[in-house]
Structure 1
């Protein structure tokens, strides 16, 4: 199948997740284009979509949300998987409870434009400079950690599941 993996990123960790998903889909025989949501001009030319965004304040970046809204008619009757890249892996202490609330909040906004086959929330990269001096102090004080929390195995497993679903769709269509 011809698949578009599109992403909105703030600091680059979402690009890495999108690229890894695309690599796995290609390894399973799918034709895959990977692009920033701001550069997609031919969304109608794909059989399936995997779209993701970095998450700030429990919401997709404006460019990612705008892409879903703008392209929603092209997603009708085509499978769409969504992924978000946020903070869950970096949260400890009292913030850990907050992590469980992030995914429902994210999906509440996205479902206005698309009904995904599935959504996954992955952890990304959190660096002190991303939060500013005061934000970094507060984040660390309440139990936040800095580092690269992307779980490549979980990302690859999810992409493999998508590849299998796409193969099933192809088989059924024949």
Structure 2
């Protein structure tokens, strides 16, 4: 039976959810069972053999829902393969170089033994929620900087790793 993967995310305006959706689609295409859920709605992770957690970055921190998810399920997350991703830079920097995880995410990775972290460009467009987000867009600093080719390649590496481990069992 293929490894079942949970892809959980925290987002305010939905662009991180679209990244999580792309990750989930690649995992499924590669033959893994994968569920996509907002982090705030996850009650239990024990049914999953692996977990991917993603969040938008807000003032250098993960979304509250993602932080709470990691805290609430930390014991179970530490017992299974775990990956993190962040989305946020509103420029091309994430496509040009590897951006390390922010401090809080780095600490969680160490504590839980996460295998990898990737930072992807963010997306902030007209209609964004929040005063600061609206100001960023109004001042011409918004846009869509997500690189779905890079996102899909990262997800394919996760699938490859899980499938190799599954074949060894």
> Aligned match of 1:50 in 49, 52, 66?
52
Q: Kindly tell me the number of residue pairs found equivalent between the two proteins.
A: 161
TM superposition shift of 1:172: 1.9
Equivalent position of 1:158 in the other structure: 154
TM-score (norm: length of structure 1): 0.82
What is the CA RMSD across the aligned residues, in angstroms? 2.4
1:74-113 residue CA offsets vs partner (Å, 9 max, x unmatched): 123310000011115267xxxxxxx987734353343365
TM-score (norm: length of structure 2): 0.84
Is there any run of 5+ residues in structure 1 with no aligned partner, and where? 92-98
Is there any run of 5+ residues in structure 2 with no aligned partner, and where? none
8 Å contact kept, 2:99–2:119 = no
Distance 1:64 1:149, change over 3 A: same
Distance 1:172 1:148, change over 3 A: same
1 or 2, which has the higher helix percentage? 1
SS at match of 1:38: helix
Structure-2 separation of matches of 1:164 and 1:3 = 13
* Structural mapping, 1:19-38, within 5 Å: 19-38=21-40
Distance 1:44 1:23, change over 3 A: same
1:86 aligns with 2:88: yes
Q: Report which of the two structures shows the higher radius of gyration computed on alpha carbons.
A: 1
8 Å contact kept, 2:16–2:87 = yes
> Aligned match of 1:119 in 117, 120, 123?
117
Equivalent position of 2:101 in the other structure: 103
Structure-1 separation of matches of 2:67 and 2:27 = 24
Distance 1:74 1:133, change over 3 A: closer
